[in-house]
Amino acid sequence: VNVYSEEDIVSFGEKEIQSIYYTLRSSILELDDVEVQSRKIYIGFVMNKNICSIFVQKKKIKLWINLKKGELNDYKNIMRDVSHIGHHGIGDYECFVDENSDIDYVMSLIKQSYDKHN
């Protein structure tokens, strides 16, 4: 049985990406009853259901939000519809997060999933 740790997944990213991950992680965990669950490929943030999944890459973070197509209010259109293609995380929406991303806006999208599954 392989055990995958959050640190193993996060360590793949460059220092700046790791810092962005821990900023996102901290903000997500401020939401009530959310736990971190490491998987083989990604890190899930879970309550009774997964609210979002994060895959740390060398120069960016891939984020999936667990909402069905049409349920997310993304007025900046940073998310792409992945409902029709295979992907590692859970949910129909995907975006990349890096040093140029608006973390507050990304958190507003994650919060929509939190509110839906709470």
- Give this prediction's pTM: 0.93
- Gap between the Cα atoms of 92 and 68, Å rounded: 5
The Cα angle at residue 109 between residues 105 and 113, in degrees rounded to 5: 160
Q: What are 45-81's pLDDT values in tens digits?
A: 999 899 999 999 999 999 999 999 999 999 999 999 9
pLDDT bin (cut points 50, 70, 90) of residue 105 is: very high
Q: What are 2-53's pLDDT values in tens digits?
A: 778 999 999 999 999 999 999 999 999 999 999 999 988 899 999 989 999 9
